[in-house]
Structure 1
Amino acid sequence: MTSSPQTPPARIPGYDGGPFRHQPELLDEHLFWQVHLHLSDTHDQEAGALLSRLLGGDTWPVFTVPLAGDHHLYVVYRALEGEAGIDYLVHHPDWDAAETLTRDDGHFMGPGLSWAELTAAADNGLPGGSTTDPHARLLLLLPAFGDDALPDDAVERLTAALRARTRVEAPERIAATRLVYQGEWGPTHWTTGEGGYLINDGGYSFRNPAHSFAWPTARLAQIATAMTP
């Protein structure tokens, strides 16, 4: 179930866009998950119409997942003409600006979450977000994930979420396929860096310190702390 209606942030520091509109009710609609997880052909009339509303309206839909230490993860449908997409952002009240964790669009960037971090965010039960339901949170954040070391129960876990929140046929097959290909970037290897925090080797990831576009060392550590299972 979704949580009580929440006032969306008037702005997300350092992130241009909006006005934002909090729409937790969408998380109870199976068609939303078809669109969000790219499970439906957008030429399908209903799916295409919903995608047009999400990415072509005057307001930007936003969903919130609270994290440890008063951090928040925002999932923002960037309804910007010619540059539409979905941004996954992390912010803390002490930061001047939110950090982009993952970008799901034609110029994709990611992954931003390991499997352990994904499930920790799904299961933390913290109030104040769009939903406390672990299945909905798992599916909401799934496009930001990439990990080449999955536990034995990963397919079972994703299958349960798909079965609970969508009407897809053969959810176990879809879960298994999704966990093999893992979005545009594919499975990514995660390690503990010299600073004691989690990093990856993804070619498009802000959490790969080998890249010039990676976050600064201090921010990599802060993000890893917020995501700690």
Structure 2
Amino acid sequence: MSAAVRIPEYLEDCELVAGEDLAREPAFWLAHVLLTMGDPSEQVDRYGIDPSAYEAMVDRLSDPDRPWPVLRVCFDGGHTAYVVYANFEDASNVDFFVRHPEWGRLGYLGQCGVDEAGPGLSWTELITLAAGARDGSEGLSEESERLLLLLPMLGDADMPGEARDTVARALSCCGIRPDEASDLAASLLGVQDPFDGPRWTVKGDNPVAVCSSQYSPRQVPLALGITPDQAQALANALNAPVRAAHPEPPPA
């Protein structure tokens, strides 16, 4: 039985459970990226996923009568990124946010579903969080899983040339057929407009970057209202020097 998860600053009238066990199933990863970034009605067997397993996973992730699954990505400085499958009777969203136990508030990255909001992460931040697992911490520890979990929040006009290959390797590591992973990665990433696409800049005295997109919660600094020292720690954690994320494909 999955352990209960408590997030004091999140919605009061909901039951949350740890969802990291779902990450063991390739069907989860395909459902996650298609529900948040693609077409959930795709022919999933092309990706090496059994259609019945995929349908069962979609049903689990959208079931309003069961506790909401929560997946976590812990990173530097005691911060944690949360992904919550929030299922009401009449609507479902996937909520993305960051929390630190000393803040007393949440830093919202965005949402996928009925109430769309984003992007919530730059490419540099995504790669940093993917590679920044902490020994012994709760949540996901595999780099490829951490990258795919937070991928729906990505939006960046300055995407590097290796972005497609990086995402494709992560998909392969998580059970997607390697010969289909590159095309799926390209579809998920879409085309970033180098002129009008989301840009990330630091403004004023707050060291946490803000996003140029009018739909992003990060038009203001993430977790606005935390102390200057906390903001600096968050900025450092989101941009810590890490090796490039190049997950190794699983053995043949």
Q: TM-score, normalised by structure 1?
A: 0.83
Match of 2:247 in 1: none
Q: Quick one: percent identity of the two aligned structures? A: 27
Residue identity opposite 1:87 in structure 2: D
| Structure 2 contact 75–133 (Cα < 8 Å) conserved | no
| Aligned-pair CA distance for 1:148 | 1.0
Match of 1:109 in 2: 117
| Structure 1 contact 26–32 (Cα < 8 Å) conserved | yes
| Aligned-pair CA distance for 1:176 | 2.2
Q: How far apart in 2 are the matches of 1:140 and 1:158?
A: 11
Q: How far apart in 1 are the matches of 2:166 and 2:147?
A: 9
Q: Deviations for 1:76-113, whole angstroms, at most 9, x for unmatched residues?
A: 11022113111012111112222321111122111111
Q: How far apart in 1 are the matches of 2:93 and 2:28?
A: 15
1:28-43 matched pairs, under 5 angstroms: 28-38=24-34, 41-42=40-41
| Structure 1 contact 34–40 (Cα < 8 Å) conserved | no
Q: TM-score, normalised by structure 2?
A: 0.76
The DSSP-based 3-state class of the residue aligned with 1:75 is: strand
User: Do the aligned partners of residues 119 and 228 (structure 1) sit closer, same or farther apart at CA in structure 2, a change above 3 Å counting?
Assistant: same
Match of 2:12 in 1: 16
Q: How far apart in 2 are the matches of 1:95 and 1:115?
A: 25
| Aligned-pair CA distance for 1:217 | 6.1
The DSSP-based 3-state class of the residue aligned with 1:37 is: helix
> Greater CA deviation, 214-223 or 116-125?
214-223
User: Do the aligned partners of residues 133 and 200 (structure 1) sit closer, same or farther apart at CA in structure 2, a change above 3 Å counting?
Assistant: same
| Structure 1 contact 68–226 (Cα < 8 Å) conserved | yes
Q: Between Structure 1 and Structure 2, how many residues are aligned?
A: 219
Q: What stretches of structure 1 of length at least 5 have no aligned partner?
A: none
Alignment root-mean-square deviation, CA: 2.7
User: Do the aligned partners of residues 205 and 136 (structure 1) sit closer, same or farther apart at CA in structure 2, a change above 3 Å counting?
Assistant: same
Which of the residues 196, 199, 222 maps onto 1:189? 199
Which of the residues 196, 199, 215 maps onto 1:204? 215
Structure (1 or 2) with the larger CA radius of gyration: 2
Q: How far apart in 2 are the matches of 1:31 and 1:98?
A: 29
| Aligned-pair CA distance for 1:20 | 1.1
The DSSP-based 3-state class of the residue aligned with 2:62 is: helix
| Structure 1 contact 10–20 (Cα < 8 Å) conserved | yes
1:1-229 matched pairs, under 5 angstroms: 7-38=3-34, 41-42=40-41, 46=52, 47-56=54-63, 57-127=65-135, 128-168=137-177, 169-181=179-191, 187-195=197-205, 196-209=207-220, 216=224, 218=226, 221=231, 223-229=234-240
> Greater CA deviation, 73-82 or 5-14?
5-14
Q: What stretches of structure 2 of length at least 5 have no aligned partner?
A: 44-50, 241-252
User: Do the aligned partners of residues 206 and 41 (structure 1) sit closer, same or farther apart at CA in structure 2, a change above 3 Å counting?
Assistant: closer
